Amino acid sequence: MPLRRFCALCVFVLSPISPQAGHTHPHIWIDVVTTFQFEAGKVRALKVRWAFDPFFSAGIIGEFDTDKSGTFDAAETEVLRKGAFEATLEDSYFTHVKINGKPLRLTRVQSYAAMIQQTTLVMEFVAYLPELVDPAADKLTVSVLDNTYYVDVAFDKIDPARFAGEQGGFCTFQISKDMKNPIYFNSVYPDLMELICTGE
């Protein structure tokens, strides 16, 4: 399956760095910044930023920055997109959206980018919701997780959420652990963010 190809890539990259990479969970850590993109007071898309841990960053940069320029050019970015990022589609790009408790699958993604920021591998993309969502009327939550717990995905502790576009009212967010939906043999509770907005 596609996600297995991503995991295989992870093991290939990590094995020279950590001999135990194939024997423990998780293998990779991602800090997530989510930007809620608004149109006329409704959420149209999520801009998601992944910052990877130092070991995985070093492995990917060493393997895929083939010209050693310190940046990913268009060709290198495309290899990363096809070889790693696209494989996370089956797990909703590690980004699980619910409206009033009902899952809303993300399938349309644009503006993928891969960057090297100092020594950190960063990926960004925009995931469009299937329909506009009014967060003042409907409960919108976002949980970030890899169901296999191969990757430990969590919201950035300092800058977890941002807002862009015309909100139409005051918005904030609240992060908690999703106690109702544990993963990895019911032992891990993923981060859950609730968007809280008031009307005009």
Two tokens, residue 102? 């009902």
DSSP string, 82-109: HHTGGGGGGGGGGEEEEETTEEE---EE
- Give yes or no for residue 21 having a pLDDT over 50: no
User: How far is the C-alpha of 194 from the C-alpha of 124, rounded, in Å?
Assistant: 21
CATH class, range 2-9+27-197? mainly beta
DSSP string, 106-155: --EEEEEEEEEETTEEEEEEEEEEEEEE-TTTS-EEEEE--TTSSEEEEE
Share the mean pLDDT of the chain. Answer: 89
Identify the residue whose tokens are 């960057």: 115
Query: What pLDDT is recorded for position 13?
Result: 52
7 neighbors 150 (Cβ within 8 angstroms)? yes
Q: Which long-range contacts (CB under 8 A, 24 or more apart) does 75-81 make?
A: 76/114, 77/112, 77/113, 77/114, 80/114, 80/123, 81/112, 81/114
Rounded to two decimals, the pTM is: 0.88
Task: Please give the average per-residue pLDDT across 166-191, as a whole number.
Answer: 94
140 falls in which pLDDT band (50, 70, 90)? very high
Query: What pLDDT is recorded for position 9?
Result: 56
pLDDT digits (tens, 9 = 90+) for 90-128: 899 999 999 999 999 898 999 999 999 999 999 999 999
Residues of the chain above pLDDT 90, percent: 76
